[in-house]
Amino acid sequence: MPLNFVKSTKNKNLLVYSGYIFVKDYKKKEKIYWKCVKYSTDKCRGRVHTYLEEVVYHKDEHNHVPPY
């Protein structure tokens, strides 16, 4: 299943997964760690890890409704 991205207002890629939006947290080799865009404002704990354009981990602990 291909990953779905949208652009932020700063022209950065945001990952859309399961109706939620994630911003890149950090990268180690080919693995990218994403955190929910509501991490700072709402202390949301939602996370996604991708490896070679595929989701390998999804922590679905959001404390808000999905925007999509």
Tell me what the mean pLDDT of segment 8-27 comes to: 97
Return the CATH number of 4-59, one of 2.40.160.40, 1.10.3720.10, 2.20.25.240, 3.30.1490.20. 2.20.25.240
Helices marked H in the chain — which ranges?
39-42
Share of the chain above pLDDT 70, in %: 99
For position 1, what pLDDT does the model report?
Answer: 67
8 secondary structure, DSSP code: -
pLDDT number for residue 9: 95
pLDDT of residue 2: 84
How high does pLDDT run on average in the chain? 95
Q: What is the mean pLDDT of residues 19-47?
A: 97
Sign of CA dihedral 7, 13, 16, 20: negative
